[in-house]
Amino acid sequence: MKTLSKLSRRLAPWALGLGLGLGLALVYLGGEALSAAEDDVAVYQVDVSQSMTGEDLDAFLDFVRSNPGKDILLEPSDPLPVTPGPERRQQDEARAAEEAKRHDAKIAEGLASGLYTQDGPAPDCASLSEAANGEPAIFRLCENGVRPVPTALPTAPVESTRAAEERLTAYLQAVLTSPDATEAQLGLASSFSDASALDSVTLAEGGEVTVDFNFGISSQIGGLHPGLATHYMLEQLYRTLFQFRDVRKVTLTLDGSCRAFGDLFEGPCQELDRDLWELMTELNDEQVAYFTLKGGQ
């Protein structure tokens, strides 16, 4: 009997899980399993309100041995207690309020000890970008996003393709230049720091813009994570160019090669059509202001 008792103790965790699982299953099924022939079934009642002890397990094994060849069905000895919905909701709300109280106390303690610091006021760049909605703008980093910033560059439409290329070049050079002290004070930042990385900007008759960089662009990423920095870099360029409806496609190249530009940042050749650009902004539910670059269009 000692050997059986030791075996019973070893099987206790397994039997406990099995017993509770079968018991709950029986409750869920509403006792439908009892429809089996009485001669083939033995019903064993389990007190599910408390954990099964070693003695409980020994008693269960004795019951199994005394009913050889029968299916053993477990049922709770007493109905499972169920808290009414309104009462359960009140308990949940009280528990949530207590947890929130403890959380607030922990934050207050951390602030008092210097472990935590409170966020400062929102940077002024957010309100500044709102002032750029009525005119073409350059794009800077602000509050972990890319926002338009008013510029002193000319905004009136031009008449020739050459003048349009010069206008786009001026805007991109402004984007590629580091924010000045005033912009930095307002919370503006940039993925770029040197406009000399730009070699040329060409505008084909169909509206395709090719922006060619030299290898100076490779040092423009700065301290951000490369993937995130590349995303912000491209957003600053694409948003500055696609704000002009005349631009139908943008291709970014390195010494004349789109593939070389992609390889520089471990990505594909960077070509983007306006239709895809506008679809992406629409899916992101963004409000984008568009302008005319060349007069008469």
User: What mean pLDDT comes out for the span 248-276?
Assistant: 92
Q: Which of 33-37, 258-262, 288-292 shows the lowest mean pLDDT across its residues?
A: 33-37
Query: 0.75 exceeded by the pTM?
Result: no
> Any idea which of 3-7, 100-104, 177-181, 199-203 has the lowest mean pLDDT?
3-7
Q: How many CB atoms are located within 10 Å of the residue 219 CB?
A: 11
Tell me, what's the pLDDT at 250? 98
CA distance 9 to 149: 74
CB of 12 closer than 8 Å to CB of 3: no
Enumerate helices (H) and strands (E) in the chain, giving the number of each: 9, 8
Single-letter amino acid, residue 130:
E
Is it the case that residue 6 has pLDDT exceeding 80?
no
Contact 242, 229 (CB under 8 A): no
pLDDT tier, 83 (very low <50, low <70, confident <90, very high otherwise): confident
Q: What is the mean pLDDT of residues 179-188?
A: 86
The mean pLDDT of the chain is 79
pLDDT digits (tens, 9 = 90+) for 44-72: 888 877 777 888 888 888 999 999 988 88
**Dihedral sign of CA atoms 58, 62, 65, 70 in order:** negative
Query: Strand 208-213 relative to strand 271-273: parallel, antiparallel, unpaired?
Result: unpaired
**Considering only 74-83, 94-103, 156-165, 273-282, which range has the smallest mean pLDDT?**
74-83
- Is a pLDDT exceeding 60 seen at residue 265? yes
